[in-house]
Amino acid sequence: MMKNIVIYFLTGGTFTVLIVLLEQSGYRLLSGLAALVPVFTLVSYIFIGQTQGGLAVSKHSMFVLIGTLVSWVPYMLVISYLAPKIGPYKAIAAGMGAFFVLAGAFVFAVGRFGWFK
């Protein structure tokens, strides 16, 4: 268990540092590409697949896909729209607020209606 936690931590940290360094070095396209790599789901699905099998990975991936459309897409749209108007930090805060409201509503609906079981 501890070995897996260390792998998760190192993988996530490595990609975060890579994204920031590429952006700061002027490699915006590479930074954007690195940010698009689904590191957390990749690592998670490898370990979920090892412990619970392909069906669990399939159900989880559908949950994440629908949840992304419901909460992450609006989060990015809020940031994109507000950042030039109110600055990046306030835009990120507003985006996170929208994300958590929508993600919370999605998780509630999933639990309430028993989706993805």
Where do the structural domains in the chain lie, given as residue ranges?
54-117
Which pLDDT band, with edges at 50, 70 and 90, does 36 fall under?
A: confident
Between the alpha carbon of residue 33 and those of residues 15, 18, 20, 66, the distances in Å are 11, 11, 12, 22
Q: Give CA–CA dist 32/28, Å, rounded.
A: 6
Quick: pLDDT tens for 60-115.
999 999 999 999 999 999 999 999 999 999 999 999 999 999 999 999 999 999 99
Judged by DSSP in three states, 5 sits in helix
Structure tokens at 112: 């309430």
Mean pLDDT of all residues belonging to the chain: 92
